[in-house]
Structure 1
Amino acid sequence: MTGTRLSKRSVALPVGALLVLCALFVVGRPWGTARIDAYRTGLQQLRLASAELEQDVLRERLGLPERHGSHAQAFAALRARAEALRDVPPFLSNEEARVMASSLDAYLGALEDNRALLERSRAAQARGEQREADAAMQALLERSASAQAERLVGTFIQLHERAQVANERTRVVFFAASLLLGAYVVVVLVRLSRASGELATLNAALEERVEERGRELVAAGEEQRTTQARKAAILEAAPDGILLIDEVGRLLELNPTAEKVFRLTAAQAVGREFLALALPASLPAGKREEVSAALGETSGVATRLESPCLRADGSMFPAELTLVRVPGEGPARFTAFVRDITERKEVERMKNEFVSTVSHELRTPLTSIRGSLGLLEGGIVGEVPEPALEMVRIARSNTERLIRLINDILDLEKMEAGMLELKLASLDARELVEATFSGLKGVADAAGVVLRADVEESPRVRGDRDRLIQVLTNLVSNAVKFSTGGAEVVVRVLPEVPGRVRFSVVDSGPGIPEEQKDRLFARFQQLDGSDTRSKGGTGLGLAISQAIVNQHGGGIEVLSAPGKGSTFTFTLEAARPLSGSHPAVVAAATARDTSRHDVLVATADPELSGLLRGLLSQEGYRVVRAVSLAEAQKVLEAEPPDAVVLDTRIPDGQALDWVRSLREQPRTRALPVVALSGRSSEGEGVGTPLVVDWMSQPLEESGLLSALRHAMRRPGQARVLVVDDDVATRRVICARLERLGRVQVFEAADGESAVELARRTPPDLIVLDVGLPGLDGFEVVDILRRGRGRTTPLIVFTGRDLSRADQRQLTLGMTRHLSKARSSEEELVASVRELLHELLSGKDGELETRAVS
């Protein structure tokens, strides 16, 4: 331990060094004395030269010989000496250097004045002007340059002495500081010497601790290697491909699963760009940017997305990518988890096929069962005993309940899969509420609940009519269900912020506890109150409503408290006002291909002509226009059309006289004519065979189309062709239609039979299922569209869910699309009545004249 102490010699060496340093400060001289002496000598020589110059000037004046000379060269020499003295010694501060420069400037100024005065004196003396010469000499002696040189020397001496005093003070202070420093060093060394023993003890303890810590580090290293091996085993066994990516998107590492997924080795992948390696060039627009944006996410939040990925052999596979930044300092690093979801997609495909199978194979027989029970309940097979009738009602009610449950489940599946297609249109909010109340009036009356609509300004919204009515029906039916007798359920609609319309369903029921609100919109969830359970229900209505409103860009909110009722609200986008003229003009832009039925439109009014062209072309007619009766006559002579639409205000001639002339010609005797008149009284006195129908203006579109269909059909009962491969469904539909009377029903079980029947006996209406053996519904419609059947009214009655593209393809004349699961037989019959209105209300084969106001 003593060997580690500081020796006396170690203490004496720094002390001796400090003493020598102090001695140097005491006896030492400041550096640069030679330069200072040289500068001082220069100043004194300048002063002496200046005095000698003045002496020579006086000697010249007194007529004595000059010793040194007073000519111009002497002044120049003095000036040069003065300029040389501007380089002052470095011990002077900047301020002191400026003082010396100012003194030199004063000297040079005086020297210049002396030279000028001397020349003036000499010039005056040369001219004989003694007085002026004396005055100049007197001024030269008064402003002597030697005096300025003396002041310059004195200024330097003062500055030098001041600097020396400051230097001495500094040396004294430095000396004192050196002594204090030396004392401090001695004290430190003494203390270090005392502490050395303690340090030796601590050193021994430290060595022991280091050995112990070394053993711990060895154990920790072994544990770390074990952990690393465990992590490596986990990465190698991980079912997902794991890739490490740097800040510019290049691959740094990947696990064996990633090698198998992408079918390459790590050596082939490392250093390549991840986006180029994993994503195919045929990636949908925006998907590559989405993946790139996820790689640039610096918040540390994982981004999960689905994208097709590319293997090294060129094949592609569906993948789920999870991208997240690795936490830590330094350059950014990202981890990409790649999961091959081929099996999941296959399961989803199988599930979708199952949903489609359920949609057709389960809902179609249920629809037939419901229809058959409805026929029994309506007494089609005779009077049913009351007990049996009650059982029929129960069976039909539960069948409808089962159909609704299947529809709800399938709707949820489609919504979750993003397959629910909305048919967006501009809708009247008041009409939506009235349609909802119409469907729930019976339920509300049975519960003793009053339904009230509070609609401000009758706003229009943009949405899918059927789906929005479904939402309102769910909300209002729930409000009715939980309201007491005599209570009121209010549906309020009012414009909110610009571009939005708010719907609110308000009831005065028992309310909803705060802790149960989160369960309202979950699947198959019902609140646990005793009153709630007694109301029944599947627990899917609110979940479906929430999904529908979400797809419309909104969300359902609930305001409720126990005992204070509930308010369910949602907002929809307000519909923009439609531009353009008549809707038929707009529809003409999307008119289908020309049909085989020709209609001659005779009018000179371009606006009416455009409206009729759009309306008739949309219904599948080929429109031929004539702007005068003469032009119309030429068209008739070339090729008579199937019908004529005549504007009675056509300018050239009497329109009715022209029609009478048509009736007198065998070729045009039976040609149907629909007359458009400014007033209905023009038809008075016109015989029945003359015209088929009168249309007053403004034009009623549905009346015109109905009149044309009535005019171009054969006499007899209304012919309806029912096409469905399910025997039970066909029988139910045919039984319903035959009860209308005046309807002749034809049946077809497949597409080929339907086309043959439609060609042999053109129907007035077709009720068509889509899923048919042989030719399906799409092919049947496509074939009929090529012939005269193109304008035939059509009701598509199918269990399949149709997209908007499907509905556009399944269109002939006036077309209705009904779902077997959601539309009852009553709705089907109502649609048949609507489309066959003229045929069901008129007489067989009779052409009648009537005024439509």
Structure 2
Amino acid sequence: MVAAGALLLLCGLFAMGRPWATSDNDRYRSALRHLRVASGDLEMDVLRERMGLRTLHGTDAEDFAALRARADALRVFPSFLSDMDRRTMNAALDIFVGALDESAALLARARAADAKGAKEEADAAVQALLENTASSRADRVINTYLALFERTQASNERSRIVFFVVSLSLVAYVLVVMVRLSSATSDLASLNSDLERRVDERTRALSAANGELRANEARKAAILEASPDGILLLDEGGGLLELNPAAQRTFQLQATDVVGRNFLALALPASLPEGARKRVLSAARDTAPGHATRLESPCLRTDGSTFPAELTIARVPGEGPPRFTAFVRDITERKAVERMKNEFISTVSHELRTPLTSIRGSLGLLEGGIMGDLPPQALDMVRIARTNTERLIRLINDILDLEKMEAGKLELKVVTLECSELVDATFAGVRGMADSAGVSLHGEVTDSPQVKGDRDRLIQVLTNLVSNAVKFSPQGASVTVRVEVEAGSQVRFSVVDQGPGISAEQRARLFGRFQQLDSSDTRSKGGTGLGLAISQAIVEQHGSRIGVESEEGHGSTFTFTLEAVKPAPVAVSPFVPEDPSRYDVLVTTADAELATRMRGLLADEGYRVLSATSLIEAAKHLDEALPDALVVDMQLPDGQALDWVRRLREQPRTHELPVLAVSGRSDNGEGVPYWVDWMPRPLEESRLLKSLRYATRQPGQARVLVVDDDASTRRTLCAQMERLGVQVFEAADGESAVELARETTPDLIVLDVGLPRLDGFEVVDILRQGKGRATPLIVFTGRDLTRMDERQLTLGITRHFTKSRASEEELVSSVRDLLNGLLARKAHPS
């Protein structure tokens, strides 16, 4: 289509650019020359007539009219003249006609003058006629036409050149299009051939896939048909869509009779407890795609009998409405075997416990010398017998405990427990074993956490773990029990030894029954192989699991976590400070607006605010408990605050109590010895907070806590701080930083964000909960912080710096600013 359009356009351009016909031009130019000749002949005849000679063409009015008609005939112009050119020619012809009319008038005038005998007048008229001749105007018309013709001819030539260039371009374009069309035709043929080949291949592959699919469907159908377990397909509402022959045999029904009915209503007996029924319904409704829920429940046959069944309900993946697959296994035989096993274990254990207890008691009496002193060899034999008897009793107890746990019959006596007491009780039970093995025991309990659990069972778990650690630790090594609170209100128990470590293969079977790491350990270390299995079961009943971290040759760490118990709030008098992690400020004012403003301001900064509206009420507060600072409004209704503060200073108990005065006047007058600061109204919030921070800090020089895990950075920062005359504390991790901040509240913290154990965000979150909430903070980190990060990393006045961008001068200047003049103070003033 494009090529055909280009050819048509080319033809049109050639047609438009052809040379114009010359006949119109020749005809018009010939008519112009005739007009010129006729005009000259007329003027010659006028001259002949004046000289008395015979005229050749005539000079009558008819002759002038003929010339005028010939001029009008020339107003039909050639077609190549434009509208403007035609207007130009009309103007030239109008001039010629005007000259012709003037010549006719002059000739008539000359003839009239001759008739009157006025020869001179006649000569003058003829002279004027000859000077302004029509022939000259005809020459002008001819020249005008020739100029217009030449200009049009030049424009035509330019157009023809342009048309020629455009024509050549179109010819080239047509050729290119034709070449590409030929190439495209070839490519299209190749693609068509390739497409046909691919379609043929896909057709063969699809045929093969269909054949394989039919084979797979046949295999699946055969599996379903041969499966010993009942398999049922359920819809979202529990309606039965399909079932295999095993399900029909298990429930003693026909598929045609039950398809479309509700399976749960059909299979669950009416006598099933409501709680068990809800568990089955929840499993059928809430199972997530890709997951399966397994549970045991009695099921009902069509003849009314029931049988114990194991139900596995899985959601079928795919689009469309939810579908569920229920696998039903009749476990009547399994239950019978378990019952027989439990009865056997119970019987054997009971029958063994009684004689073993007697044997152990008897052997103990013999070993204690009730029958007199035994010979050394006999005493050794008795001791060996008693030791192995105790071992056998422990084995029986372990087996019974394990069976109870697996059957869900072990009852836990859950109470609130002190973790430090659990560790102490555990060490008391295994210390003799540890001393015999030459292994030292260490307990590390952080923050004295509390947990809920069964005390005896948790001590049993710790005893098992510690005794195993002692057995496998070399002489002179140590076993450490760590208890620490983790984020998320979890308490982590860790038992760390310095033994030979445990390989990955051994860890996989560590918590199995009767499992020992190898036979040599079994012979040299002893043990039943049930301790870890029982410990795992106990911890699982407490809602956790025991984990193992170990590397061969570098010891092992056994850990488990329990939910921390938050201490119950103690009901105390509202006047007694109840939170030692926050500073207490007693605000004494009768101005309700001022009290509300200060309460909100101080509470936002982390202070605990106590309120009093009179000196009497404030005195009651001070009698019950001393706050960390006292803010007194000098305009109180029940006395002179100045005298009251003077009396406080005279008492040893309140002599050092920091006092901040709020007054309507700006001078501090005679109150200077009694105040930390004197603040005039209206109250300046920044000055109040600054004065409180100074008042509540510990005496001594300014204290800065530098927290960074990089030792070289810490050394550099500490050197900079020490040059300012401050006391510097260092911390290499978040936990150490929190501990140091709690021990001695710093005046400024310089904190990195990327820290081990607790990162900068966690450190700030912890400090916000206590007295460190208002501590100025400089975040000095190599990490680019977002606005959200900066908002989270904020305590008191906070500034954020990036290590790669902040200069030493900027950091030191910020330290000076945030210490608020404490650099010059060596001791807290009294």
Common topology (TM > 0.5): no
- What's the TM-score, normalizing by structure 2? 0.41
Structure index of larger Rg:
2
- What's the TM-score, normalizing by structure 1? 0.40
